[in-house]
Amino acid sequence: MPDVDPEEFRRLGHAVVDWIADYRAGVADRPVLPDVQPGWVREQLTPTLLSAGLPEEPQPLAGLLDEIDRVVVPATTHWQHPGFFGYFPANASLHSLLGDMLSTGLGVQGMLWATSPAATEVEQVLLDAMAAALGLDASFTFAGGGGGSIQDSASSAALVALLAALHRSNPDWRERGVDGTERVYATAETHSALAKAVRVVGLGKQALRIVEPSPGSLAMSPDALAAALRADSEAGLRPVLVCATVGTTGTGAIDPVREIAHAAAEHGAWVHVDAAWAGVAALCPELRHLLDGVELVDSFCTNAHKWLLTAFDASLFWVRDATALPAALSITPEFLRNAASESGFVVDYRDWQVPLGRRFRALKLWAVVHGHGLSGLRAHIRSHLALAEKLAGQVREDPTFELAAEPSLALVCLRVVTGDGPESDDRATRTVLERVNASGSAFLTHTTVGGRYVIRVAIGSLLTESSHVDALWESLHDEAAKVLANDPDDRRDPGHSGSTHV
Amino acid sequence: MPDVDPEEFRRLGHAVVDWIADYRAGVADRPVLPDVQPGWVREQLTPTLLSAGLPEEPQPLAGLLDEIDRVVVPATTHWQHPGFFGYFPANASLHSLLGDMLSTGLGVQGMLWATSPAATEVEQVLLDAMAAALGLDASFTFAGGGGGSIQDSASSAALVALLAALHRSNPDWRERGVDGTERVYATAETHSALAKAVRVVGLGKQALRIVEPSPGSLAMSPDALAAALRADSEAGLRPVLVCATVGTTGTGAIDPVREIAHAAAEHGAWVHVDAAWAGVAALCPELRHLLDGVELVDSFCTNAHKWLLTAFDASLFWVRDATALPAALSITPEFLRNAASESGFVVDYRDWQVPLGRRFRALKLWAVVHGHGLSGLRAHIRSHLALAEKLAGQVREDPTFELAAEPSLALVCLRVVTGDGPESDDRATRTVLERVNASGSAFLTHTTVGGRYVIRVAIGSLLTESSHVDALWESLHDEAAKVLANDPDDRRDPGHSGSTHV
């Protein structure tokens, strides 16, 4: 037998499980960010993998674990660290790991119902059940004529939504492609994945309309949207898709979905709601308002692999018309023809995505909801909301800082106030971020709001507790105090700090 | 701590490892195909997950494993079964599972170098080392100005190749999109992923030129390609990409890469080589000829997740110009800006793919080459070649069968010969396939060659040994003998057999 013997696999698998348990148990003691320069990993691996070439003979597992300890762990940003506040959380809970192991252990391909009926139907059932748990309208479930799927990412969800919209807006699209009159609507705060999707589908940047926000807000103005749609329609252009975001990446802004849906409906445009980060919070009844108006749109996406404890990749994507994606995407060569598909009684998930192959991703989501229960998932979300609320209160009460936007769920955006004007504030804010990151105890990323530099604190790592947010606040406060004490080193342009990490 | 405690995880992780070891140890004793009708899985899960809803409270792992035993395993096509001869193999070796566990255990996001330097550089090093092991030209390595990446699938590799080609052929593409003059060239045997990519990028089916094969072959005719390119260029159309396949899905046909590259070069078209299944065989020096001419093309793809023992998803994709994909795909919002990216010294793999997020896929490939060694991987490939050669010899010597195409590597295409003409042969061939599949000991899929129904025997499952191919041949022979004995049940139209599996 050329593979490792199943009995030997028990020994090796237990060793890897133990390695992971040790890594997770100790992750909080490491600096969140690695201290390596570009090329360090390559240099470390050159003697073993490049100069000597890949090994000719099988090597014992211990050697691989040693290499991972020696080269990988010191050069890894520790996303599961309790001090990880960057980007959005990407929780890979140990429960989800168990489910993912089962998926790879089974080793099935879920491209067609026929290639693994269980992979398809478990995903359908879980997405229907998750829709109910989130309070999504029943029309998004298979039972209600729509349906859900697990995409690899919100980027891919936006892409397939746009492809379905292009097909719906023009029956000739599959034959003749795009014609240059298509238009897509978003805001400056919409995730860049939408602009990338617009590029990928051949529309070019010219097709992307950036709709203005409502005054004093970062959320899309329904009036501005309506005006843009009307102007384009009158000019002979075709509004194809409007992307509304529930919880933007920059500041967590929430577009007015209901008003957007009404404006889009007049022009037959597909409405896609990107709630990649925030959507899962609707598991909590008191946050169900996040889905206001979603019952009117065409597609909805939220990522289990951000705040919902499921290891990447697991982006949950629902449509209200189960035929929309297959109509846009299906191409059936002879070697994929089968009686089940032709019966019309099954879902072939290959037609819901661009790639043909697909993993049995539903198992990791199942393992998460099974292992945590809805009550555990809600407690996880609520604990981060409480931590964010406390942090925002501290920011409000400290004259050294100000909130750069109203806190949104567990995302707090703040900046340093120097009293010397915006440029000085921006420099100070950036210096504080770099110093906190250099401390190793926390990792922050930034954005800009109205052209101003802003620190984002995205709370949501699985291990993050009150003590970690308290320590972060202390660190932010202390670093800001040093900057405000006017040490010349702290005021110089931090762009020259040489850090490659932030 | 809301996640499972690391110490508790040891216990649960060991239990899951043991479950997998048991599953793999017993997989050969199961029927390859499940005996379930559409809806059976849903029905089984309705009381627990749909009617009752997702569990409110955390549940013990044992309950999940019980559900998988009760509902998933009986409804799964067993891709890791030694009698799996369908499609192409999708080996998820236990070594690759160990690497995949480590990936999820680390739980890092590899979208930017800065978000996990190790995830990026290990992938770069491994792809450079794998290029050397395959005998790919050094210009495909990062050291040589090109570079490799791990895509989720050959479908996505074809898509990003096409996007890079569109950008190279038209500097206005990112701004203005496609203009309808673009043309893409392939054969009727090219994988449907290319037609899907052509549709996705907004060109429509009209842009896809199906180039004729050389007489008496299923491989692209370089003369026909040259003529098509010339005719389109003269008509003011723009040849953007030619896809050459090394090992087509239907019959394993091999397009003449060198001649195709020469013909395309005259018109500046990008040449992408799709060697999804066959390419990894070039690890064997005696099969290095599979890569003849690849040194002249722009991009090359082969799947580690088919024949190279690495669990899906792991499609290895190289380009000869490391700037081509970022130039086509990069869009940088403020929240992704970082000093390392701006230094120009690092690769940000998000710019090599459509999704933003990405797993640390290189670990599973590393675990495979570490655990098997190149000698083990070559032995694996050579053993399947020998089994295919033996089977092809048996087909040649048996008047009941004929080869539908020359065997290609480990793929043997055959049909039943009834002596009553093509329609009778097709019906008999289909009946034999269905009966073999119904036996539970083997799983075959079909294709058509010249409109004729053909059984494909794709040898390559990790556990497949001589005895399994011998048993398959016996089964094929016996079922064909029954059909030829003219039992009326065997001659009727098998389309009404009611099977939903094939």
- The most distant pair of C-alpha atoms in chain B lies apart, rounded to whole Å, by 75
Mutate to test the interface with A, among B17, B43, B461, B501 (most CBs of A within 10 A): B17
- The predicted-structure confidence for B257-279, as pLDDT tens digits, reads as follows 999 999 999 999 999 999 999 99
Residue A181 in contact with partner chain B when CB distance is under 8 A: no
DSSP state of A291: G
> Which residues partner with B239 through β-bridges?
B183
Cα separation, A307 vs A89, in Å, equals 6
State in words which class domain B381-496 has: alpha beta
Q: pLDDT tens digits for A24-40? A: 999 999 999 999 999 99
pLDDT value of position B498: 36
Q: How confident is the model at residue A389 (pLDDT cuts 50, 70, 90)?
A: very high
Mean pLDDT to the nearest integer, A217-240:
98
* Contact: B375, A57; criterion CB under 8 Å: yes
pLDDT tier, A2 (very low <50, low <70, confident <90, very high otherwise): low
Identify the band that residue B488 occupies on the pLDDT scale cut at 50, 70 and 90: low
Residues of A in contact with B85 (CB under 8 A): none
Which pLDDT band holds residue A222 (cuts at 50, 70, 90)?
A: very high
For chain A, which residues make up each domain, given as ranges?
6-81, 110-359, 374-496
| CA distances, B41 to each of A282, A472, B44, B45 (Å) | 27, 48, 5, 6
Alpha-carbon span B417 to B410, nearest angstrom: 22
| pLDDT score of A138 more than 90 | yes
CB contact A369 to B (< 8 Å): yes
* Cβ neighbour number for residue B38 with a 10 Å cutoff: 18
**Which residues numbered 463-482 in B keep a CB inside 8 Å of some CB on A?**
463
Distance of CA B424 to the CA centre of its chain: 32
Cβ atoms of A414 and A458 within 8 Å: the answer is no
CATH code that applies to domain A374-496: 3.90.1150.10
**Across chain B, what does the average pLDDT equal?**
95
User: Are B108 and A79 an interchain contact pair (Cβ–Cβ within 8 Å)?
Assistant: yes
Residue B118 has pLDDT above 50, yes or no: yes
pLDDT tens digits, residue range A66-79? Answer: 999 999 999 999 99
Average pLDDT over residues A452-477: 97
Q: Scanning every residue of chain B, which has its alpha carbon at the shortest distance from the alpha carbon of A107? A: B92
Query: Chain A within 8 Å of B402 (Cβ-Cβ)?
Result: no
Question: Is B227 touching A (CB cutoff 8 A)?
Answer: no
Residue A500: count of CB within 10 angstroms of its CB: 19
Q: Which amino acid is at B140?
A: F
- Helix or strand or coil: residue A111? coil
CA distance B101 to chain A (A): 7
Per-residue pLDDT at A488 = 54
Per-residue DSSP letter, A335: G
Amino acid at B186: A
CB contact under 8 A, B118 and A76: yes
- How distant, in Å, are the alpha carbons of A216, A446, B22, B227 from that of A398? 23, 20, 59, 74
- Mean pLDDT to the nearest integer, B99-122: 97
Collapsing DSSP states into helix, strand and coil, what is residue A416?
strand
B325/B154 Cα distance (integer angstroms): 16
Quote the pLDDT of residue B387: 98
Q: Is B108 on the interface with A (CB under 8 A)?
A: yes
Could you tell me the pTM of the whole model?
Answer: 0.96
The H or E element spanning position B496 is none
Is pLDDT above 90 for B369? yes
Chain B: nearest CA to A165, how far in angstroms? 12
CATH T-level assignment (fold) for domain A6-81: dopa decarboxylase, N-terminal domain (1.20.1340)
Nearest beta carbon to residue B129 from set A50, A72, A363: A50
B14 touches A14 (CB < 8 A): yes
* ipTM surpasses cut 0.90: yes
CB-based contact, B327 to chain A, within 8 Å: no
Q: Which residues contact B80 (CB under 8 A, 6 or more apart)?
A: A106, A107, B24, B27, B91, B92, B461, B462, B463
Q: Is residue B373 within 8 Å of residue A55, measured between CB atoms?
A: yes
Own/partner contacts of A320-323, CB < 8 Å, gap of 24 or more, are A320/A137, A320/A139, A320/A140, A320/A145, A320/A146, A321/A145, A321/A146, A322/A142, A322/A145, A322/A146, A322/A147, A322/A347
- Mean pLDDT of all residues in B205-214: 98
pLDDT digits (tens, 9 = 90+) for A114-133: 999 999 999 999 999 999 99
Instruction: Give the pLDDT of residue B2.
Output: 62
Mean pLDDT of A269-276: 98
Residues A77 and B115: beta-carbon distance below 8 Å: yes
Reduced to 3 states (helix: H, G, I; strand: E, B; else coil), residue A310 is coil
pLDDT of A103 > 90? The answer is yes
Contact B117, B348 (CB under 8 A): no
In chain A, residues with a C-beta closer than 8 Å to the C-beta of B12 are: 94, 98
Give yes or no for a contact between A8 and A1, defined as CB atoms under 8 angstroms apart. Answer: no
Continuous H helices in A249-398: 257-265, 324-329, 339-343, 362-397
Q: Does A496 score more than 80 pLDDT?
A: no
Residue B493 has pLDDT above 60, yes or no: no
A371 → closest Cβ in B4, B124, B379: B4
Residues in chain B closer than 8 A to A101 (CB atoms)? 13, 16-17, 20, 97, 100-101, 104
Give backbone dihedrals phi and psi of B211, rounded to 5 degrees, phi first. Answer: -85, 140
Cβ distance of B45 and A122 shorter than 8 Å: yes
pLDDT digits (tens, 9 = 90+) for A296-340: 999 999 999 999 999 999 999 999 999 999 999 999 888 888 988
CATH number among 3.40.640.10, 3.30.930.10, 1.10.8.60, 1.10.167.10, domain B108-171+178-359: 3.40.640.10
Q: Considering the domain delimited by A110-359, tell me its CATH architecture.
A: 3-Layer(aba) Sandwich (3.40)
Which tens digit of pLDDT belongs to each residue from B88-106? 999 999 999 999 999 999 9
Average pLDDT over residues A336-365: 94
Helix, strand, or coil here: A437? helix
* Cis-peptide into B351, omega within 30 deg: no
pLDDT tens profile B382-419: 999 999 999 999 999 999 999 999 999 999 999 999 99
Residue in B95, B126, B367 closest to A49 by CB: B126
Tokens coding B307: 């024949």
The confidence score (pLDDT) of residue B176 equals 98
In terms of DSSP bridges, do strands B452-458 and B411-416 run parallel, antiparallel, or are they unpaired? antiparallel
Mean pLDDT for all residues in chain A: 95
Q: Is A263 helix (H, G, I), strand (E, B) or coil?
A: helix
CA count, 13 A, side-chain hemisphere, B495 = 7
Across the interface, whether the CB atoms of B177 and A177 are under 8 A apart is answered no
d(CA B12, nearest CA chain A) in Å:
8
CB pairs under 8 A between A and B: 567
Mean pLDDT of B280-304: 98
Q: What's the pLDDT tens digit per position in A160-202? A: 999 999 999 999 999 999 999 999 999 999 999 999 999 999 9
Assess whether pLDDT exceeds 50 at residue A1. no
**What does the alpha-carbon distance between residue A122 and residue B234 come to, in Å, rounded to a whole number?**
53
Specify the pLDDT at position A343. Answer: 86
pLDDT, residue A187, reads 98
Whole-number Å distance between alpha carbons of B394 and A101: 40
CB atoms within 10 A of CB B349: 24
Q: What pLDDT, on the 0 to 100 scale, is given for residue A502? A: 37
More confident residue, A345 or B197: B197
* Angstrom distance (rounded) from CA B166 to CA B108: 32
Q: What angle do CA A313, A102, A125 make, to 5 degrees?
A: 65
pLDDT of A500 over the 50 cut: no
Give me the count of residues in chain B: 502
In the predicted model, what is the mean pLDDT of residues B46-51?
93
CB proximity under 8 Å: A 150-169 to B: 152-156, 159, 163, 166
